Amino acid sequence: MERSSTTPGGSARREATRQKLYEAAVTLIAEQGFSATTVDEIAERAGVAKGTVYYNFASKSVLFEELLRHGVGLLTDSLREAAERTEREGGSKVDALDAMIRAGLVFIDRYPAFTQLYVAELWRTNRAWQSTLMVVRQQAVAVVEGVLREGVAAGEFSEEIDVPLTAAALVGMVLVAALDWKSFQPERSLDDVHAALSRLLQGRVSGRG
């Protein structure tokens, strides 16, 4: 997990402080938005002095940007791992998509605040971290697109499918369903939600059960 540290040579102590700041920032920004969240709040929630924030990050924006990179990195790794595991176990491409849906749900289950914040920022324009966000988004979506393309090549998926758009739609399906789950029916189990989405993926909605 500490694989991608931004500043090589950072001590363990420093890394721990940064982690605390990430955790404090992610929930506050998810709740209130970037601009409405103050550096004082972040420091207080992290149990750290304000000066420490600026000792560790050049600015509020930079803290946020690194937080984004860090979080999407975790998601991308998780998606890729799910796809590779399915491959290794000899599953089909639909199985791989299904495994990635589950990986997505697990991620959102564990980091709901990060997901929320990511969605809120993704389609904004004219913001400082816009380019960072695009790069990082593409890394994640590319994993889904890759599986779709392999599926088409293998004859498992129709050649008519629009790979980027279908990937976006699948991501959206999981994202919105999961955020709704966490926001409005948090008592439901992950398996339950996963089953509902699997059904949708495999076109078992129309037609008798």
Partner DNA sequence: ACTTTTGAACTGACTGGTCAGTGCAAAAGT
Partner DNA sequence: ACTTTTGCACTGACCAGTCAGTTCAAAAGT
Does residue 180 interact with a copy of itself by CB under 8 A? yes
Output the six-digit token pair for 133. Answer: 């966000």
Rank residues 41 and 150 by Cβ distance to DNA and give the closer one.
Answer: 41
Residue 72 binds which entry of DNA, a copy of itself, none, CB below 5-8 Å type-dependent: none
Across 148-158, b (16+ Cβ under 10 Å) vs e yields bbebbeeeebe
Does residue 126 interact with DNA by CB under 7 A? no
Across 28-59, b (16+ Cβ under 10 Å) vs e yields bbbeeebeebeeeebbebbebeeebbeebbee
Residue given tokens 């989405």 in the structure block: 197
Does residue 190 interact with a copy of itself by CB under 8 A? no
Residue 47 binds which entry of DNA, a copy of itself, none, CB below 5-8 Å type-dependent: DNA
What is the distance between the alpha carbons of residues 170 and 149, in angstroms, rounded to a whole number? 14
The span of 11-19, 24-32, 67-75, 77-85 binding a copy of itself (CB under 8 A) equals 24-32
Does residue 91 interact with DNA by CB under 7 A? no
Does residue 68 interact with DNA by CB under 7 A? no
Q: How far is the CB of 71 from DNA (least distance, A)?
A: 20
Per CB under 8 A, the list member of 36, 49, 135, 153 interacting with a copy of itself is 36
Return the HEC string of 9-34: CCCHHHHHHHHHHHHHHHHHHHHHCC
**Residue 49: DSSP 8-state:** -
**24-63 residues near DNA, rule: CB under 7 A:** 37-40, 47-52, 54-56, 59-61
Residues forming the site for DNA (CB under 7 A):
1-2, 10-11, 13-14, 16-17, 37-40, 47-52, 54-56, 59-61
